[in-house]
Amino acid sequence: MRNGTAITEFILLGFPGIQGLQIPFFTVIFFIYMLTLAGNGLIIAIVWAEPRLQIPVYFFLCNLSFREIWYTTTVIPKLLETFVLARTAICTPCCLLQAFFNFFLGTTEFFILTVMSFDRYLAICKPLCYPTIMTSKLCLQLALRSWVAGFTLVFCHVVLLIQLPFCGNNVINHFCCDAGPILRATYADTNILELLGLLATILVIPGSLVFTMISYIYILSTILQIPSAAGCQKAFSTCASHLTVVSLLYGAVLFMYLRPTAHSFKTNKVVSVLNTILTPLLNPFIYTIRNKEALETTWPVAFQLHRDGPELPLKPMTAVSTYNFSPPPLTASFGTFLDTTATLSGSIWGLLLTWFREK
């Protein structure tokens, strides 16, 4: 494409090296996508329906599941298209919107997991003060701040990005719109954008990792002071699921960004697609299979919802709680959170689409 020609669309290469295997890959990834939507949606529905699960740890889990649903929906449909079409094109406004939501939801995940580590720290290290500190109001504030922080960081970059003229190479060697190829499609000075991106990356990834590590250092120190083995196991089981998810996320991120540049970009692309597809799928299973309370409550409630229908009231069920308090229900707070997030998402879609129409 000539330098003076404005770009109206980008071409996503996807995985050009899998000729002849497009149909099997499409089938597997589509099936995983459906399972991801079902698993995370089921967690939200059951926590909403079962009062005993309306406690801080599951409220934050609902935030994470809500994020997983929209993150996979942002990326996977276009990825599936690369398997069935020889030339996968995406218009410039759609590409920028996908990049925005990709980074917005990815950044928010780091903040949500950091908040969850703080919640586990309070539950294990400050059990007597936990009910009075981690109230419904604080839970809602922490969740909203996680979403607003992720939105603000990425939105500032997008506002600067959409001001640039795109007239360079419009081919993106990826399965989704990434910041690097988009910046290379412009001949304008991108030093400020790249510097802001670097600062935001340092703030989000190492910053959240340090906070999470400090939380778990205190958690581990507290657990080791418990005299009985049963007590240690019970305390560790309350944070084992979160620790597993954190390890998967930071492990993939560190693998992609701390490896020598001489390594193949294809390897990073494979790790990226695994992180995009498998992690959102595994999260519901990790948080239910590794949690005794979730096992004894979630799956029976799901069976009852399937048998009786969502319009019937849930019958009382017995569950073994790993907590020693009963905080106020978080259903109203979660409803407020959903309304706020929907309004936030609608505002950015409308703002960007209006801008592109004017251009």
Q: Is the dihedral of CA 115, 290, 67, 13 positive or negative?
A: positive
Burial class (CB in 10 A: 0-12, 13-18, 19+), 17: exposed
Read off the pLDDT of each residue in 72-89 and give the average, rounded to a whole number: 84
Instruction: In whole angstroms, give the CA distance from residue 353 to residue 92.
Output: 11
Element (H, E) at 171: strand 171-172
CB 280, CB 40: distance < 8 Å: yes
Q: Which amino acid does the sequence have at 44?
A: I
Can you spell out the DSSP letters for 15-74? Answer: -TT-TT-HHHHHHHHHHHHHHHHHHHHHHHHHHHH-GGG-SHHHHHHHHHHHHHHHHHHH
CB 71, CB 37: distance < 8 Å: no
Can you spell out the DSSP letters for 148-170? Answer: HHHHHHHHHHHHHHTTS-B-S--
Band of pLDDT at residue 299, cut at 50, 70 and 90: low
Read off the pLDDT of each residue in 40-58 and give the average, rounded to a whole number: 86
Q: Does residue 320 surpass a pLDDT of 50? A: no
- What average pLDDT does the structure give for the chain? 77
Band of pLDDT at residue 307, cut at 50, 70 and 90: low
Band of pLDDT at residue 260, cut at 50, 70 and 90: low
Strands 88-91 and 171-172: unpaired
Band of pLDDT at residue 104, cut at 50, 70 and 90: very high
Read off the pLDDT of each residue in 177-181 and give the average, rounded to a whole number: 80
Q: Is the dihedral of CA 156, 159, 162, 163 positive or negative?
A: negative
Write out pLDDT tens, residues 334-354: 444 444 444 444 444 444 444
Calculate helix-pair angle for 92-125, 229-257, nearest 10 degrees: 150
Distance of CA 108 to the CA centre of its chain: 7
Band of pLDDT at residue 113, cut at 50, 70 and 90: very high
Would the pTM of this model clear 0.85, i.e. be above it? no
Q: Does residue 355 surpass a pLDDT of 70? A: no
CB 295, CB 301: distance < 8 Å: no
**pLDDT > 70: percent of the chain:** 75
Residue labelled with tokens 């990005």: 161
Write out pLDDT tens, residues 125-166: 988 899 999 999 999 999 999 999 999 999 988 888 888 888
Write out pLDDT tens, residues 199-255: 888 889 999 999 999 999 999 999 888 888 887 887 777 788 888 888 888 888 877
Q: Does residue 101 surpass a pLDDT of 90? A: yes
